[in-house]
Structure 1
């Protein structure tokens, strides 16, 4: 992201640093919100395409808002808060390398098949049951047929399930791009070891904002992550950075902790 003053306006651009050594394209829907401490919002929404055959690496607005209007209505103590939400609608030419295979080549080593969006995953019942109480309950059911049992899983994408399996099988697929998908499935399938590894990544290695981490801590009941985030809030600017426009969306215990911190920072 690039934020700058240009010709009397606040300019805002989103850049893609994907190398142009191969042919690829990414289509995104994205929205940007400039938020004041009092809750006022200036927003922009657009669809953009990044591609290897383009001469441009960024897209955005030269005239997001007049500089003086921004200073008057959105700047506090020389700081502003801008949120950017990006949804990838389509991506071609970029494929993440699988860290472990669960395809038909693993058939001889597996005793159950899990199907997600028409893709088969050949896995071990005993190992999966030991990692997930959801699968322990599912796979302990008696199967009348003599052939290898097969179960179809709903509510997730095959690539996300691949990441989840890689994690519980001892690989390291977690990064800031995959963490949301993996922790969602770890919570969905009640896999405590996977949840712990996700929480440790968010606490120690993630570049996500404190606000985003606190949102995830609330969604997935990650108490250690919540306490870690609160311990990193050291001043009024930090408090402002984690506040949501709608406070009702926040964890009540976090709101209380922030109010206590705010009182101590008063002059």
Structure 2
């Protein structure tokens, strides 16, 4: 599966559940993940608990889509969960989705008896992003010169013709892959990598200033997976010096991707009396620390 580590968890505790008004939605706080806004909401409707994941990104800002696997969970009391696949966005005029979930997640009275503790309901949304479109800029370089390459890498459905030596110089993962494990390999598939993130990472390796708000999290995720100090440093520099992301989001990214300078920057910012500094530490998502060992040779 592509983008196996492009995932996140939304967590929220709904309070005063007994006071929820019929057919009126109650929303969690909005969070940003991979430069896309997300939130959870519940409603009481016709004797059932309705439970949805919402992506409030505007349809007016170009054509975009986010293909996901989602799992909505009740974690208080007797836990319950339901799973599904859904593509959010506006690329398909027949399926314009901003929310996905279940109108009848479970019976309201059953939920009240089995899942409510002190009039609160704890829920989670686990989201795995499989593919994103409409977020990245046009390609600056086309890696299609077969004569100057010694390996063809298949990332998703995209072929990249590259130099093993060049890649090995940028990443300890690629150094191990090409100098030790697959010295004679001329074709290699990495199904866990997103092709758009890989394209921008390669452009960064070639000296182009491609990092922006849209792609920085995808690039730093990939840089962490393949152990690329240069890419990681460039992403961290952007987050400290240029990014307009919230302090809460920067704190999350510093912890998730082990960005020490960004963590120090956030800590210093917390000591400055700024109106929009979050009062509480954010709940951080769990992430896999090891790169999947499923490179496919050809």
Bucket of the pairwise TM-score, normalised by the shorter protein: 0.5 to 0.7
Q: Does 1:96 align with 2:134?
A: no
Measured against aligned partners, the alpha-carbon deviations of 1:196-228 in whole angstroms (never above 9, x if no partner) come to 000001001111111111111111111111111
Partner Cα distance (1:190, 1:27) in 2: 26
Contact 1:131 1:191 (8 Å CA) reproduced: yes
Relative to its length, the structure with more helix (as a share) is 1
- 2:173 pairs, out of 134, 154, 158, with 134
In structure 1, stretches of 5+ residues that fail to align are: 1-10, 30-46, 60-85, 251-267
- Once the two structures are overlaid, the 10-residue window that deviates more, 214-223 or 189-198, is 214-223
Relative to its length, the structure with more strand (as a share) is 2
- 1:177 pairs, out of 205, 211, 214, with 214
Q: Does 1:195 align with 2:260?
A: no
Contact 1:210 1:242 (8 Å CA) reproduced: no
**Match of 1:121, SS?**
strand
Partner Cα distance (1:114, 1:140) in 2: 15
Measured against aligned partners, the alpha-carbon deviations of 1:152-205 in whole angstroms (never above 9, x if no partner) come to 113122112111111112122211111111000100000001100000010011
Task: Show structure 1 runs of 4+ deviating over 2 A.
Answer: 11-19, 24-29, 47-53, 86-96, 141-145, 235-244
Q: Which residue of 2 aligns with 1:5?
A: none
Q: Which residue of 2 aligns with 1:235?
A: 273
Q: Which residue of 2 aligns with 1:260?
A: none
Compute the TM-score of the two structures, normalised by the length of structure 2: 0.52
Count of aligned pairs:
195
Contact 2:169 2:175 (8 Å CA) reproduced: yes
Q: CA deviation at 1:16?
A: 5.0
Q: CA RMSD in A?
A: 4.3
In structure 2, stretches of 5+ residues that fail to align are: 1-26, 31-55, 69-86, 100-126, 287-298
Compute the TM-score of the two structures, normalised by the length of structure 1: 0.57
